[in-house]
Structure 1
Amino acid sequence: MDIDQTGRCAARAPIRYRNALLLGCTAVIALTPALSLAQDTGGEGDPTVLETLVVQGSGSSATKLDTDNDSKSIVATETTGVGKMPSEILTTPASVSVVTAKEIEERGANTIEQVVQYTAGVVTDYYGSDDRYDYFKIRGFSPFTYRDGLAIGRSWGGPLEEPYAFERVEILKGANSTGFGVSDPGGSVNYVTKLPKSERFGEVYGTGGSFSHKEAGFDFGDNITEDDTLSYRLTGKFQRSDAEYDYSQDDENFIMGGITWRPTDATSLSFVFDHLDRDGTPSGGGHPRGTDLDRDVFSGEPAYNYNDVNRNTYSVIFDHDFENGLSFNASARSSSSDSGFGYAYLFDGLGANDPADSLIDRYFFGSDKSTDQFIVDAHVVYETNFNDIESRTLFGVEYNKIDTENDSYYAPASQIDWENPVYGGGPGVLAPYNVVTANQKTKAVYLQEDMTFFDKLTVSVGLRNDWFDLEEEGTNLYTGPFSGSSDVSEFSKRLGVSYKITEELATYVSYAESVAPPSAGVEPTIGTQYEIGVKYQPDAFPALFTASIYDLTMENITTYEAPTYLPATIDKVRHRGLDLEAKFEVNSNVNVIASYGYIDSEIDEPGNVSGYNGKSFAQVPEHMASVWGTYTLEGNGARGDMTFGLGARYIGPYYFDNANTRKSDGAVVFDAAYTYKIQENTTFQLNATNLFDEKHIANDDGGAIYYNPGRAIMATLRQTW
């Protein structure tokens, strides 16, 4: 690796990187013997399991993932979460969780944080009332996100994604840069876009509820031609709402249109355009330390309080089956986004404990950012059998170009009296304290090989090399001009072995690596993970039970902590843990999701340069657990079906800082749902998050405290066809 750098930016960030954590996960529940519910995934004469992956009217089974059942079941059996090849979750030597469209709708999940919060090893809402980003961590680290296998970026720092755009959300736990590319060792998330189907379908809905929430959405499609070769799909969501604090806003316009052409049974070409427009507010500004005020108290400035995102995305997906085991896939995406936020926040160590007065210090912080990305991936898959050995080989190349301009603003704001707040107005015209222009080009070549012996033993190998060309320049108010460049070549690998003890029970062991260059002129962040696990997928009814033990390490970590928010490098963080997860449909009446996560976190810094050696990494609870269940009471003619849902999420205590001087309390949060089938295709649904309005401190950055989200109740009327 060769790194050249001049006038390196100190990257001073006197900003609120509010640390905290909130999660949902739970202990695995024992099965109840029940009725068999068979799922029709393919013909009886299918020569291989792979052929059941064919999407209706689409091309290759080796490159296309079947998501047809995602709207009907909470249990997924196939995934692309580990790489570009669809594979059975049972025999995949990695820990993968899939949140299907049915589960998203059933729980009324309106944000990505809500989508993943019942997943083992995942923590959410660790920044409290900060509404700028999707804040969640997997196994203690922020994940990288992907859409249809193409990189988006970190969940922390990107636009809030719209869950209604996706058929499913795949959560891979653990290191794996050989699959989709750069990532941290904690895990990664792949969003699977809704694509046109070769049949008529649709729904419209309206939602209203807490905080003046008003929302309407639709998702429908049909064939354009009589021979089913051309289909379309149109998806949209429009929302007008407040947040739970005063002077807040949470508006959204989302529209997505797609068209798929299938000239033959072996070929498909899809084009998707989507537009995301968010007009919101970033935060309530925090609460003074030492107080217990209501969540709706606003400590910011109404005149400087915005959080806007405008993004356009164009995606193309092409599949072709050459037959004789050879297939090809190419995907490309072009996106352009403009985003910005500005707000005032509290930062006063004494808070309400100041004996002199009730005035609290505040600061303005803002950002204007534009990002243009073009990414393209192409790969071939070759499947063959010889004797009792099945082989699948994938070889691919990827190119990713990202251009970013980011101006950051910071200035002292007027103090505010927390007992009698009077707002002082916005900061006027602010000059940026940090101006950065960054250009990143990534080229990659990768190879994946899965070999199955005697339909029992599966050996999976992943190899990838990424070449990063990074350039960065700008001006910092405190340090002056800076520039940096990096020419980095990083090789990562993965090895996994899975063994089917029976047709329903498999065990696995794996080793995987990750790499993620944070910025130009900085050493790449690297990670390694060792994992062993067991999976059980009964034939009697749809279910998947997983248990895994892991040991992962992340090196070269840059952190930003209060009160200075200057960059600090930690040599190594080691997490050893256990994940347990169960999803099962006992019969048509009972569905259960349960999970439990344990993490032993330790900062490993032999020289103890930062003073954190032996401490726990911030925002990592030792214990997390959750359970969600639904029961359907079938109708009797005059009355329609009624479905009752109840969930609980336990968040164990965790440290707010790496010095381990501030710590949260454990908490349990309950969620509930009720659905009534008015007619065959008409339903009324009621969802409540944080049902009992449980209140705890999600983050204490040393200058202010931030609470977990409060109770929200939403009612939805839905019509399908």
Structure 2
Amino acid sequence: MKIANIFIAVLCTLLCGQLLAQSTIKGTVKDNEGNALEQVNVLLIPGNRQVLTDKKGEYTFSGLAMGRYAVHFSVVGFRETSKSIRLEDGETRMVSVDMMHAIEELQHVEVVGRRESGYKNSTTFVATKTASSLRDVPQSVSYVTKEVIEDQLAFKTSDAIKNISGVNQYSYNNSDFVLRGFRASSVMVNGLRVSTRGWSQNLLPYVERLEVIKGPASALFANTDPGGTINTVTKKPLDENRKAISFVTGSFNTYRFTTDFTGPVNESKTLLYRLNVAYQNAQSFRVLQEGEAMVIAPSISFIPDDKTRINFDLVYQLNKGRLDRGQPIFGATAGTDLYSTPISFAVGRRNDYQNELNLFSTISVQRKITRNISFNASYMKSMYDEDLLEHRTSNRYGVDADGKEIPTLMGMQTIRRLRKNYLDNISSWFTAEFNTGIVSHKLVVGYDHINEVFPVGNSTYNAGGFLTADGRGTISTYRPAEREKYLIVNNMPVPNVPYFNLANPDYSISEISRYINVSAAETPTKYFVNGIYVQEQLRAGKWQMLLGLRQEYYVNVLDYTKANQRNIKQKALIPRIGVVYTPLEPVSLYGTYTEGYQPQSAVTIANPDIYGGPFDPLISNMVEAGVKMGLLHGRLAVNVAAYRIRQNNILRNANAADRPDLMEQIGQQQSTGVEVEMYGKILPNLSLTTNYAYNVTRVTKSDDKTEIGNILPNAPKSQGGVWAKYLFAGKMLKGLGIGAGANFATTRVTDSDILQLPGYVVANAALYYTVDKFKVSMNLNNALNKTYWVGGFDFNRLFPGAPRHWMASLAYTF
């Protein structure tokens, strides 16, 4: 018995010794911005034990014997990495890594969702038609990520675009922005063209990020604006389950609800989904501008193997409200007081309405044919549908019988309109990657087709002008020398639609059948584009070069749907060249030259007897140089760019007495400027996005010498902004965060030579609190209650910014 007890005691001692000698490997996996990475596969060799990191990016291997081990980390979208260690008895070894984003894994960025989180984005697909590091693109590409959009509670494009250098609003209208001094309307979704006929701003709940390709982008995307092109990148499915819902309320009786669900449909993760749904019902600081908006955006990715990826996107966007034409003020003379009417002031009637539907669907296919050759194809169908009734200004003031303007009476017209238009995009290209000696090549050869139709059946029912003497007809304009033709009452010509009294506004219901209306079919139109392009990206050591050439064929169908319809053809050969030099790993120097192209209208170039000509298309070109840096171990991106853009072949009326429609091709406009942008994290808990732009856009050539030197409208010389978010790290303040920022712009001119908009600085702030899976935030915008204008046309159409207002949000992720 004693021997048995001694044996058991010795055995227990040995076992306890072994247990005490067992060792542990644990650690945290983050990206190069300091964000924890979930679902990273961690493999331990020998033993082939595997675990996945949790939501904090943490993992643990326990019960290990002493010896040598290799810890291998892998996850889609990041470079695989390994660490080798020697583990001692009873040791707990911390093995943590920062994983770098793998550009080569992001060739399918348009199919698989972005894993990066934060204010910094590392890659672009649209700027080169291949997944490229932003530092390797010899052109400025700016962006706003979904994290910035969420932190600022932005809901539409104009809420977020202020975070991009060199971009300013022209009006409230959809996509009506000024990019590097030039008014722009080129808009793309995932690199494909969508209709810009709509009025309401694009909604953001389905948006991964907004990108702005600075300068002409015609070498890849056909006819584009000289200042730049805005591209919306939609959220794509992820191969891990993520779900989020949020509710927002605040000033102007705002109610907003959003959801974002994504994940795999099956265990093999060959079928992924994402669903974004959002609804908002809100009033405005503007009179009669309440409305509601809804977006439903499902996305599905099918990945049957490692060579094939198929994606389907649908975006349904509905806006209901009224068309806001801006704020009118008293009088149209120099020195008129901008504050003569409040910024809430608008023109319209209670029964006005505007219903807009934007619908677009995309199918994209990516196939890896061989190890070095892949094929990409995308097709987008978009539709815009408008149902509108508005009482709006005729862009002039009321007059007495002598033709003298009355500064408090606004001339009016009514518009009842039903219209649709359709736009088809096909984009396809082959990519070949190969080496010749020390030079690596990425060759792209592609074809694009764009087709936009404004179909038969679009119609208007309009009233305007002045009543004839018998009160049964109308004349569009009033001529005092022919006053006998007009109905004159109280020494004033009687307008068909009553004047709007700025001093005593009347917003009551007004039945348009009381006026003399003219029903008219809108002219059907059609244009289509065929483009063939080739692009080569070369790399040799520290040097890279991008060479591109596009042959563009633009056809506008004159007298579309009529028996005598004919094609008006234009074409252009568009080059692009850029060089990147990387003297150090975190620094890239670049220079580029690129051209832009915009055709003249078919009506103008097809009727030389009326308009003159022939006329060349609008041609622009840009020279740009800059530096792109990744600082603080890649957490912070800093970009600096200097540029010069010229636009030639501008058309204007020749003012010929015998030919009132005669046009002449004159002049040149030039934009020069410098931009600075920073994105990312200064500290692991301090995120930052900031931008500054100095720009001068002038008329540099004109037959009218008085125009030379004029600044283009709504283009401030200086503008910029900053937004920072700080998350407290201590136990007492854990979960608490603050955000703060400001935007500014200097004085701008308008379309009127005698009207300027003052500069402004607008400050914003936010408070965040996160506990478990809940996040509560409070945002205060225009904290100092600054009165300012984001843009303007003339005295009758100015576009003020919102006064001080607040938003509160409750979000839940699961």
What does residue range 664-683 of structure 1 map to in structure 2 within 5 Å? 664-677=757-770, 679-683=771-775
Q: Deviations over 1:160-212 (max 9, x none)?
A: 32211121111111112112222011011221121222221111111111111
Partner residue of 1:103 out of 148, 163, 169: 148
| Structure 1 residue 683 displacement after superposition | 0.4
**Letter of the 1:583 counterpart:** Y
1:393 aligns with one of 426, 443, 448:
443
| Equivalence for 1:318 | 365
> In the alignment, what sits opposite 1:147?
189
> Counterparts of 2:437 and 2:328 in 1: how far apart (Å)?
68
Matched, 1:404 2:423: no
Deviation of 1:434 after TM superposition, in Å, equals 7.2
Aligned-residue offset at 1:583: 1.4
Equivalent of 2:742 in 648, 652, 670: 648
- Deviations, residues 250-308 of structure 1 (Å, cap 9, x unaligned): 211211112211111221111122211111211165232244333333432222x2222
Q: Which residue of 1 aligns with 2:295?
A: 254
Match in the other structure for 1:469: 555
Alignment CA distance shift 1:423-1:106 (3 Å): closer
Whether the 8 Å CA contact 2:452–2:527 is kept in 1: the answer is yes
**Residue type of the alignment partner of 1:96:** V
Match of 1:625 in 2: 720
- Over 3 Å counting, the alpha-carbon distance change for 1:253 and 1:667 in structure 2 is same
Query: What is the identity percentage for the equivalent residue pairs of Structure 1 and Structure 2?
Result: 21
| In structure 2, C-alpha distance between the alignment counterparts of 1:230 and 1:356, rounded to whole Å | 66
Change (3 A) 1:568 1:107: farther
- Once the two structures are TM-superposed, the CA of residue 497 in structure 1 deviates from its matched residue by 0.5
Q: What whole-Å deviation, never above 9, does each CA across 1:463-515 have from its counterpart, x for those lacking one?
A: 1112112114489xxxxx99875211221110001101211111111100111
1:550-574 per-residue CA deviation (whole Å, 9 max, x = no partner) reads 11011234689xxx99999763211
TM-superposed CA distance for 1:714, in Å, is 1.4
Segment drifting more, 585-594 vs 626-635:
626-635
Q: Deviations over 1:574-593 (max 9, x none)?
A: 11111111113012211122
- What's the CA shift for 1:416? 2.6
**Which structure would you say has the larger RCO, counting Cα contacts within 8 Å and 6 or more residues apart?**
1
CA change 1:117–1:227 in 2 (3 A) is same
1:626 and 1:44, CA in 2 relative to 1: closer, same or farther beyond 3 A? same
1:8-27 maps to which residues of 2 (within 5 A)? none
Structure 1: segments with no counterpart, 5+ residues? 1-34, 56-60, 476-480
Q: Residue 133 of structure 2 aligns with which residue?
A: 88
2:518 alignment partner in structure 1: 431
Structure possessing the higher radius of gyration over alpha carbons: 2
Q: Secondary structure at the match of 1:69?
A: coil
Q: Which amino acid aligns with 1:531?
A: E
Change (3 A) 1:566 1:105: farther
Q: Distance between the aligned counterparts of 2:785 and 2:808, measured in 1?
A: 18
Give the one of 685, 689, 692 matched to 1:589.
685
* Inter-CA distance 518–152: structure 2 relative to 1 (3 Å threshold): farther
CA distances 1:347-396 after superposition (whole Å, capped 9, x unpaired): 44599xx9978544333345433111221111111111243221100111
Question: 1:645 & 1:606 partners in 2: Cα distance?
Answer: 48
Deviation at 1:458, TM superposition (A): 0.6
By how many angstroms is 1:233 displaced?
1.6
C-alpha distance in 2 between matches for 1:67 and 1:332: 19
Larger proportion of helix: 2
Aligned position for 2:46: none
Which among 140, 160, 163 is matched to residue 201 of structure 2? 160
Give matches, 1:413-492, under 5 Å.
Answer: 413-423=497-507, 425-428=510-513, 430-432=517-519, 435-454=522-541, 456-473=542-559, 485-492=567-574
Instruction: State how 1:302-317 maps to structure 2 within 5 Å.
Output: 302-303=350-351, 305-317=352-364
Separation in 2, partners of 1:110, 1:253: 11
Normalization by structure 1: what TM-score? 0.85
Going from structure 1 to structure 2, the CA distance change for 1:252 and 1:567 (only over 3 Å counts) comes to: farther
Q: Which amino acid aligns with 1:325?
A: N
In the alignment, which residue of structure 1 is the partner of 2:321? 280
Give the alignment of 1:171-210 within 5 angstroms.
171-210=212-251
For 1:201 and 1:565, how far apart are their aligned partners in 2?
Answer: 59
Cα displacement (A) at 1:345:
3.4
Aligned partner (choices 653, 657, 663) of residue 756 of structure 2: 663
Matches within 5 A, 1:67-82: 67-70=113-116, 72-82=117-127
Residue 179 of structure 1 aligns to a residue whose secondary structure is helix
Deviations 1:398-446 (A, max 9, x none): 1121101454546243113323223471433743567221111111111
The answer to whether residue 780 in structure 2 is matched with residue 691 in structure 1 is no
The alignment partner of 1:551 has SS state of strand
Greater shift, 694-703 or 503-512, is seen at 694-703
Q: Structure 1 residues 282 and 636 mapped into 2: Cα distance closer, same or farther (>3 Å)?
A: same
Q: Which residue of 2 aligns with 1:294?
A: 342
Distance, in Å, in 1 between the alignment partners of 2:365 and 2:775 is 36
Q: 1:718 is matched with which residue?
A: 811
User: Which whole-Å CA distance do the structure 2 matches of 1:565 and 1:682 have between them?
Assistant: 63
| Counterpart contact for 2:553–2:571, Cα < 8 Å | yes
| TM-aligned CA distance change 1:206 to 1:621, over 3 Å | same
Looking at structure 2, the residues matched to 80 and 174 of structure 1 have their Cα atoms a distance apart, in angstroms, of 17
- The structure-2 alpha-carbon separation of the partners of 1:286 and 1:54, relative to structure 1 and needing over 3 Å to count, comes to same
CA distance in 1, matches of 2:661, 2:254: 35
Name the structure 2 match of 1:52. Answer: 103
Paired with 2:326 and 2:512, the residues of 1 have a C-alpha distance of 15
8 Å contact from structure 2 (residues 207, 232) kept in 1:
yes
What's the C-alpha RMSD, in Å, of the aligned pairs? 3.1
- CA 1:652–1:368: 2 relative to 1, 3 Å: farther
Look up the SS of the partner of 1:514 in the other structure.
Answer: strand
Where 2:512 maps in the other structure, the secondary structure is coil
Report SS of the residue matched to 2:557: strand
Instruction: Go from structure 1 to structure 2 and tell me whether the alpha carbon gap of 1:287 and 1:397 turns closer, same or farther (over 3 Å shift).
Output: same
Gap runs ≥5 in structure 2: 1-30, 38-76, 83-99, 331-336, 466-496, 605-615, 654-659
Question: Of the candidates 113, 134, 158, which is equivalent to residue 113 of structure 1?
Answer: 158
**CA offset digits 1:16-54 (Å, max 9, x no partner):** xxxxxxxxxxxxxxxxxxx974578523479xx995342
1:27 aligned partner: none
Cα distance in 1 for partners of 2:283, 2:661 equals: 30
**1:684-718: per-residue Cα shift (whole Å, max 9, x none)?**
12223322221134425144544223333211111
Q: 1:364 and 2:385 equivalent?
A: no
Structure 2 counterpart of 1:442, which letter?
Answer: V
| 1:321-349 deviation line (CA, Å, top 9, x unaligned) | 22421111111111222124343334445
Count residues with an aligned counterpart. Answer: 658
Pair 1:602-2:698 in alignment: yes
CA distance in 1, matches of 2:287, 2:101: 54
Alignment partner, residue 28 of structure 2: none
Aligned counterpart in structure 1 of residue 78 of structure 2, from 23, 32, 42: 42
Rounded Cα–Cα distance in structure 2 between residues aligned with 1:495 and 1:337: 36
Deviations 1:614-647 (A, max 9, x none): 311112111112111111123627x641221111
Instruction: Give the match for residue 176 of structure 2.
Output: 135
- Name the SS of the counterpart of 1:178 in structure 2: helix
- Report the TM-score when normalising by structure 2: 0.75
The answer to whether the 8 A contact 2:110-2:236 is kept is no
Does the residue aligned with 2:524 lie in a helix, a strand or coil? Answer: strand
Q: Which residue of 1 aligns with 2:3?
A: none
